[in-house]
Amino acid sequence: MKNKAIKYGIIGSVLLGSLAFTAGDNYFELSKNIDVFSSLYKDVNTYYVDEVEPSKLMRNCIDGMLKELDPFTNYFSQSQVETARIQQGGKFGGIGIEIEIVNSYPVVTSVWEAQPADKAGVRTGDIIKTIDGNDTKGRSKEEIEKFLVGQPKSQISLQLERGTSTQPTQLSLNLSREEIQETSVPFYGMVTPEVGCIKLKIFNENAGADVKHAFDSLKTANPGMKGVILDLRDNPGGLLHEAVNIVNIFIEKNQLVVTTKGKVDEWNKAFSTLNEPSDTKMPVVVITNSSSASASEIVSGTFQDYDRGVIIGQKTYGKGLVQVTKPLSYNTVLKVTTAKYYIPSGRCIQALNYAEKNADGSVKRIPDSLKVAFKTKNGRPVWDGGGVDPDVTLTKPEYSKISETLFTKHFIFDFASQYYAAHPTIADPAKFKLTDADFENFLAFIKGKDYSYSTDTETKLDKLKEIATDEKYFDAMQAEYDLIKKKIAADKEKDLVKHKAEIISVLENEIVGRYYYAYGKVKKKYQNDPEVAKAIELINNPTEYNAILTAKK
């Protein structure tokens, strides 16, 4: 239940008082414009020829004003406040499922282990037909999620449809909502006999304790562990103080982690590690990508600044802004950007300058010419103004067009549901393998279904045809054009076989999730993950690992 407007926000962990406005011109301008707006608002409501909705008009005004700032400054109406609290703290009354809308109905895409839905027998792939007697057809994902969430111990009834469209089974379930907390660490375990791995999904209020528990457990159970991987890919951030707590697991007490600086001096704060660490010597490799944001960047950037670990993957998102929430009248809330954050080297990693816009209205990125060099503890150069650059840059793994299409059109998902229904048990995630016969069954399953797609080559070829037609050249080249199209089509027919290994891997990941929940799905995926493989390689090669963390002379 992620609202895009706060997806990359560090949720305020700083308690704030009221803001004193600057005396003089600012106060006069504020008073004048409030008076002008108040008069205009009343006159529009009174004299406009058609009826207007005052609250809707006001909401549009507020949203328009905040749109001029940054996407992280938002207003929450009374009805949105509870949803915002859920998104910030990760706790809510629910049944422990995730859903997507498929063919106008909500479909269960994930069941959280040991939560009410799991205990009641809800399965991934189930179609939710009604919730408390309310028909779900045609409703948005947000509407369905509001139906599912409620006070802990409150009752909820579901009408489910399970099985194929030709042989559906109807189920009626009554459940009691429980307080749910989104899991911050869906996986921790050994990816080799000597290398552990911790996947951190979000920085909620238990993230620091969860990561510490994961690391200490791995270290205790595996005395020969040589290093640990911290996977921050696709982690949008969360609570600032939890980022500090996670850094503290690996870095000494009383070390600066992050400083916040804004225009209100008394709100500027420095956050340092407070506790004795679990381990300050064991090699750590942090994996990031372009969706690692905010608190993820505090952690990865601090590891880099103290040369405590090697960062691999892709440049992070570049979100160096801090938000706090401020209560307003009538139980409404303002989440407002109040500061930028700076990591130990002194750099700010904010990539976009929201104060300046391009001619087309887009936000300006900070140009390379204005980026400033800083130094890590060992003297390595690092730069501000655009996310955390990894020490080892890796090309982001991309799926083939055929695999992507099979996934987005839900054929992978639907086959996994069919497989789950036909197989009561499977092997451990690390050992589970689909056979050639299983793949043939999948080919039979998608036979006759539409999994067509356009390649980049076809898209560019169509653009060429458009330009050539406009310039009156197409008639002369049509024969060659048609021949190329036929050759591409013929080659695409072989894509299922060409990408068999990749398709099987995606199928295995989806199937394993049916039996072993998020933990199994992540564990299985790591088996064929090139970035995890590179992290393992670095941990197993101390010479290369240490050379990366050493300043070049």
The verdict on whether 460 is a catalytic residue reads no
Q: Count the neighbouring beta carbons within 10 Å of the beta carbon of residue 549.
A: 18
Dihedral in degrees, nearest 10, Cα atoms 101, 102, 107, 112 = -70
User: Which token pair is 468?
Assistant: 């050539």
190 vs 213: CA distance, rounded Å: 14
Question: Which among 147, 98, 93 is positioned nearest to 122, based on CA atoms?
Answer: 98
The verdict on whether 319 is a catalytic residue reads yes
Catalytic residue among 70, 210, 231, 305: 305
User: Which token pair is 255?
Assistant: 């070390």
Catalytic residue among 129, 319, 525, 534: 319
Task: Return contacts of 523-529, CB within 8 angstroms, 24+ apart.
Answer: 523/187, 523/189, 523/429, 523/430, 524/429, 524/430, 524/432, 526/187, 526/191, 526/197, 527/430, 529/397
Question: Which among 150, 250, 152 is positioned nearest to 200, based on CA atoms?
Answer: 250
User: Which token pair is 240?
Assistant: 């600032």
Residues in the chain: 553
Catalytic residue among 13, 184, 292, 294: 294
Q: Classify burial at 38, counting beta carbons within 10 Å of its beta carbon; exposed 0-12, middle 13-18, buried 19 or more.
A: exposed
51 vs 460: CA distance, rounded Å: 50
Which residues are the active-site residues?
Answer: 294, 305, 319
